[in-house]
Structures are given as structure tokens and as C-alpha cells.
Amino acid sequence: MRINKVLQKIGSGMDIEYEESRGMFERFFAGELTPSQCGALLMGLTGKGETADELKAAVDSALDNALLVDDLDAVRIDTCGTGGDGQNSFNCSTAVAFFLADMGYKVVKHGNRAVSSTCGSADIIQALNLPFLKDPQEVQKALAGGNFAFIFAPHFHPSFAHVAPIRQELGIRTIFNLMGPLLNPARPTHQILGVPKAEMAPLMAEVLRKSQLKAAVVHGAGGFDELTPCGICEVHLVSKDGTEIVELDPASFAMRKCPPRDLGCPDKNTAVAMQKEVLAGRGPTAVRDMVALNLGLALHLLDFDPRLENCVAAAQKTVQKGLQNPLPTAA
């Protein structure tokens, strides 16, 4: 179908089926659409509201143009969020990734530099002198020799180079803000994905279900895209059988409720220093509780124990001890 017909349908509020969306985004990433057509497509979808089929079509098209990491048979997990919660909070997902790897799980951490916060996962990785993997072979080698691979998004998505100016000119949230956590070229088998608004969770959960991942989409109390000890959090558990929505109350794990400000990192230096403290088994109680909640949920997904409370209890002990093995620093 011609792009003008698709734009006309979107403009009238109609949803686009998967195959039709896939065709449009294949042309998008191939550079066959003009900048004005690209902008109209993104604006139209944003205004209408993206569906799971439209989002999955965009993700699948982007992965078709990515440098994929093949021949990975082991169970592997990613921990990330969409960002955009505006909290400038502790980089919890990266700490969780480190603890999981330290416990023997394969972690394929897909990330980038900070966009809406003071410190992104790539900023933490660089500050800790860990390697930015540049191609699929490096990822395979890192996982074969250890449990952790940091996949720096710009190195694996060359087709995004011509997308960046369009997004910059638009200056608003588009479908690309939703796509980020779904674009891991190592295609994890398990994933924790955080969203800053509860209403975003069903869409992301449905795309993960369609992608056949065992996953959890989380929205933390206080408006975070992580589980937090600020109050009752919402979790969408995704499996081949469907999606189950549960509430997670930190108080049931004997965690003291904290205000959102207790989880903040006002600048990059603070964020890096706190990351080091937490990985060493130290740091503020509220931050360590935050890490334990998310780590416990990850362990539950990975079948550490069928009871979530046992997984969180194990996570609390793990965070209290700190990492037991050195991180794989760059050469």
C-alpha cells in the first residue's frame, strides 16, 4: 500500500494491521520515505496511539536492519526501561544486571547513554571501565567467557543514523521511545521492562507476549520505571500462557516505605559513586531495597524459586553481601 493511503488511515484514527505496518517500517528503515513522510507517520501513530501490532512491526523491521547476535542457545536476560520517568533516579537496572551475572545468569544488557536522566547504563559501564561491545562476535565471546555482555545500542543499529535527525526535529515522544527496550539484538529469552506510566504497561506486555519472551513489565510507586519501595507497584507477568497483573507491596518484604527523593541521583558523579557503593554491599537502605525488589523479580522470572517472596529474600541477602566476583573490565 502506498504511504499516502496509510497516512490517510492513521489520520482518520484507524489502526494498521501488522503486515501493513511492517511494510511501512521496512521502507522507513530502508530510507525509501521522505523526511516529511517519516514525520507524518510518527506523528500520526503518536496522535492515534500505537497498537501492539504496529509496535511489534516497527521493532521487527528495526531488528531486520540490526547487527543480530546469533547462535545464543542459553537462557539470557535483559533488564531495562523505556526511561522518561523524569526522576533522575539510581540506575537500578544496571545494578540488577551486575548482580544477576555475579550469580551465574547470562545477562545481555542492551543500553545507551542518558537521554532523560543524569546517568544512563552506558555512562555507568564507561565509568566502571567495562567494555562497550561493538559487534556480534564480541558479544558471543563475552558470554562464552563470562556472564555479562553490554550491548551499546548505536553500534548495533546502524539504520537509526538517518532516524535521529527526524526524531530531533519532531522533539516529541514517538513510537521510537517505546521501541528502545525491545530492540536487543541478542534477543533475550527473559526480560524485565520498566515503564514510567501504568497505562503503557499493557501495550508493552502484549508485544513481549507476541515475541514469546518470559517477562515482567513493571511500574513503580512514585512514578518510576523500576519497582520501588515508595509504595505498591504494578507488575504485568508475561508468559506463553498470557499476562497476569499483580500488585507488589514492598511492606510485605519488611521494607520501609520511602519518598521518591531517597532514590535520586542529582548528577552523574553521584550516580556512579552510588553504583559502586551498592555493588559493594553498601549504600542507602532505600536504594538497596529498590535493587533487591527488581533483582528478586528477575530471579522469579528465571525460576530461581516459584515463590516471589523467596526470590526477594534471596535478592536482599545478595545485595547485602555485594558482588562476589570482579567485573569484566576493558583491556
pLDDT digits (tens, 9 = 90+) for 271-295: 999 999 999 999 999 999 999 999 9
Q: What does the mean pLDDT of the chain come to?
A: 93
pLDDT digits (tens, 9 = 90+) for 111-148: 887 655 667 889 999 999 998 898 999 999 999 999 99
Task: Look at residue 118 in the predicted model and tell me its pLDDT.
Answer: 66
SS3 content of the chain, % helix, strand, coil (to 5): 50, 15, 35
In this prediction the pTM is 0.94
pLDDT digits (tens, 9 = 90+) for 160-193: 888 888 888 888 889 998 999 999 999 999 999 9
Cell 547462535 belongs to 71
Domains of the chain: 3-64 (1.20.970.10), 76-153+178-321 (3.40.1030.10)
Burial 138-177 (b: 16+ CB within 10 A, else e): bbbebbeeebbbbbbbeebbeebeebeebbeeeeeebbbb
Task: Look at residue 84 in the predicted model and tell me its pLDDT.
Answer: 65
Q: Identify the bridge partners of residue 209 per DSSP, sorted by sequence position.
A: none
Task: Look at residue 301 in the predicted model and tell me its pLDDT.
Answer: 97
* Kind plus residue range of the DSSP H or E element containing 295: helix 285-301
Task: Look at residue 304 in the predicted model and tell me its pLDDT.
Answer: 96
Cβ-in-10-Å burial (0-12, 13-18, 19+) of 67 comes to middle
Residue 160's nearest CA partner among 35, 80, 52, 66 is: 66
